[in-house]
Chains A and B, each alone.
Chain A
Amino acid sequence: AQSVTQLDSQVPVFEEAPVELRCNYSSSVSVYLFWYVQYPNQGLQLLLKYLSGSTLVKGINGFEAEFNKSQTSFHLRKPSVHISDTAEYFCAVMLTGTASKLTFGTGTRLQVTL
């Protein structure tokens, strides 16, 4: 069975600083990878996804992620964060060729301060 690990439960960062949120996965078959963002008491919004092709994926709000198959990682990065980026971020995997069931990590709380 597949699993997702987000090692950092909380990441504090100052505004305009760069940030990286880490995501590692385990799976015996190929996967699709997703990053979602959740603002307090709201649903999830897709930031970006990797299905195939270029391993560097650009998403909304200036975020990007890089798929590294050898390290089974899909870390999320932003070169300069804003206060409005404060939210919970979830990494998720989906097995290829199956019903699109997502397996989520436990989330990383990004706290941006002045």
Chain B
Amino acid sequence: DGGITQSPKYLFRKEGQNVTLSCEQNLNHDAMYWYRQDPGQGLRLIYYSQIVNDFQKGDIAEGYSVSREKKESFPLTVTSAQKNPTAFYLCASSISGVRDEQYFGPGTRLTVT
């Protein structure tokens, strides 16, 4: 079955630690995205990538970093510089990055204490 996998489902970290969230897709999509979801705020775009080895900042990139070394993988690192990292993180992909619908993974809930 084709789809997007995010692991782990739940992640707990201590304040001051960096943490990397995994996102893998086997849909052969060119474009991938990371969103953050907070209650009552909808989804906000963190980073996106339309092609391997290239990515752009979204609306709330501060405190986050990404890499896109392979077409199928787009890991997100939440750094210690992110002031409020506790949230639900969603990864998505689309065929070409223009006009196409986005397909979402199941999400990772990160709790930082």
Where the two chains meet, the residues of A that have a C-beta atom closer than 8 Å to any C-beta of B are 4, 9, 32, 34, 36, 41-46, 49, 51, 90, 94, 96-107
**Measured between C-beta atoms, what is the minimum distance from A106 to chain B in Å?**
4
Contacting pair B42 A104 (CB below 8 A):
yes
Given the contacts A41-B107, A42-B107, A106 and B99 also touching, CB distance less than 8 Å: no
Where the two chains meet, the residues of B that have a C-beta atom closer than 8 Å to any C-beta of A are 4, 31, 33, 40-45, 48, 50, 56, 58, 90, 92, 94, 96-107, 109
**Measured between C-beta atoms, what is the minimum distance from A102 to chain B in Å?**
6
Contacting pair A90 B43 (CB below 8 A):
yes
Q: Which of B40, B45, B58, B105 touches A43 (beta carbons < 8 Å)?
A: B105
Distance, CA A9 to CA B42, complexed state (A): 11
Chain A to chain B contacts (Cβ below 8 Å), 6 pairs: A44-B43, A49-B101, A98-B98, A99-B31, A102-B102, A107-B40
Given the contacts A44-B90, A106-B41, A100 and B107 also touching, CB distance less than 8 Å: no
**Measured between C-beta atoms, what is the minimum distance from B21 to chain A in Å?**
13
Contacting pair A43 B104 (CB below 8 A):
yes
